[in-house]
Amino acid sequence: MDLEASIITADMTRQDRRVSGIAFAIMVAVIAIAPFFAYPFFVMQAMCFALFACAFNLLIGYANLLSLGHAMFFGLASYVCAHAAKVWGLEPVSAIVVGVAASAVLGFITGALAIRSAGIYFAMITVAFSQMVFFVCVEAPFTHGEDGIQAVPQGRALGFIDLSNPWILYCFVAAVFLFGFLVVQRAVNSPFGEILKAIRENEPRAVSLGYRALQYKLAAFVLSAVIAGLAGATKALVVQNASLTDVSFPTSGEVVLMTLVGGMGTFYGPVVGALIVIAMQNYLAQFGEWVTVIQGVVFVACVLAFRRGIVGELAARAKVSL
């Protein structure tokens, strides 16, 4: 697809707008009634991972950059937010902001170094950086090594929203999730997103038209790090701890799986994928390591036979963009 074509098809038609409006309404409705049918704690966790997957999808889906180290942003923000809330005694919103700022800085540094490479090199570099962040988190005193940061206080958001009340916490997490989701959607549907897609389709041509491809890719990388950080920081408040798992390589793999299962390059794919993967972890937890094997099999099956993912497949059949 060349540049003009990508811009023309990306222009939202009235039908696209209606479909996307309906899809969003359905998602909000599902979030509203979910706690009456499922364990609210599970739904909140799923929302955090869904937002994480949306952040990852921004890179793979619209810039064709496969980051295999995205847990570094999720995990670092989770640690910093937990530390800010527990040790510095910040109220939750400020703690989240501090956590997100930390992952933004990390995103800028690693992004500036990684973005000059593409494809598999980019993937390997992100793996290496995330491993480095993992080792730093193992050694740094404030993360408390294997124990992690436990008993993170939920506190009162902005001083008056009591997050220790499970229902208020649920609404808070839902609001954060919807906010992050809309930021990603807005970014993709903006001129910035169009240029990003143009670079994905034909980088030399976009450059010849005067777009600084590297800067656009770096901006997308940092935005993705910020949203991933938002998800990680929020998760620290939900589960009231921050641990090495959040910053480890398997978490980076899981977010890839979520996006792949749901559908790369679709707005709702990562959300559906996250729900499935988190549900799989929860309901198959009794099978221990078999969960890893099943995840691997799903990975292989998706890559070989189901590359569009669930939402991607639905959207292609119904000829709409989701």
Partner 1 sequence: MTIFGHTISMSQLYGQLLIGLINGSFYALLSLGLAVIFGMLTIVNFAHGAFYMMGAFVAYFLLHGLGLNYWWALILAPLIVGAIGAIVERLFLKRLAGFDPLYSLLLTFGLALIIQGLFQNYFGASGMPYAIPKQLAGAYNLGFMFLPVYRGWVILASAVVCFATWLIIEKTKLGAYLRAATENPTMVRAFGINVPRMVTVTYGFGVALAAFAGVLAAPINQVRPGMGADIIAVVFAVVVIGGMGSILGSIVTGFVLGVIEGLTKVFYPEASNTVVFVIMAIVLLIRPTGLFGRAA
User: Amino acid identity, residue 226?
Assistant: V
Nearest to 76, CA basis, from 244, 221, 219, 257 = 244
Judged by CB, which is closer to partner 1: 25, or 293? Answer: 293
Determine if 218 is a binding residue for partner 1 (CB under 8 A): no
User: Amino acid identity, residue 264?
Assistant: M
CB of 243 to partner 1, least distance (A): 17
Report how far apart the first and last C-alpha atoms of the chain are (Å, whole number).
20
Judged by CB, which is closer to partner 1: 137, or 169? Answer: 137
d(CA 116, CA 112): 7
Judged by CB, which is closer to partner 1: 42, or 299? Answer: 299
Backbone angles phi, psi at 151, to 5 degrees: 50, 50
CA distances from 100 to 64, 175, 286 (A): 24, 16, 34
User: Interface residues for partner 1 in 275-294 (CB under 8 A)?
Assistant: 288-293
d(CA 267, CA 20): 9
User: Interface residues for partner 1 in 10-69 (CB under 8 A)?
Assistant: 64, 66, 68
Judged by CB under 8 A, which of 8, 11, 36, 139 binds partner 1?
139
Judged by CB under 8 A, which of 39, 88, 135, 179 binds partner 1?
135
Determine if 227 is a binding residue for partner 1 (CB under 8 A): no
- Contact window for partner 1 (CB under 8 A) among 49-57, 91-99, 176-184, 301-309: 301-309
User: Amino acid identity, residue 281?
Assistant: Q
**Dihedral of the alpha carbons of 166, 88, 252, 170, in degrees to the nearest 10:** 10
Q: DSSP assignment of 176-200, as one string?
A: HHHHHHHHHHHHHHSHHHHHHHHHH
CB of 258 to partner 1, least distance (A): 13
Determine if 145 is a binding residue for partner 1 (CB under 8 A): no
Report the relative pairing of strands 161-162 and 156-157 from DSSP bridges.
Answer: antiparallel
3-state secondary structure of 204: helix
By rule CB under 8 A, what string of x and - marks binding of each residue 61-100 to partner 1? ---x-x-x--------------------------------
- Contact window for partner 1 (CB under 8 A) among 145-153, 220-228, 252-260, 275-283: 252-260
- Contact window for partner 1 (CB under 8 A) among 51-59, 135-143, 203-211, 236-244: 135-143
Determine if 1 is a binding residue for partner 1 (CB under 8 A): no
Cβ neighbours of residue 70 closer than 8 Å, sequence gap 6 or more: 52, 55, 56, 126, 130, 224, 228, 252, 255
User: Interface residues for partner 1 in 110-129 (CB under 8 A)?
Assistant: 113-114, 116-121, 123-125, 127-129
Question: Contact positions toward partner 1, by CB under 8 A?
Answer: 64, 66, 68, 113-114, 116-121, 123-125, 127-132, 135-136, 138-139, 249, 253, 256, 260, 288-293, 295-300, 303-304, 307
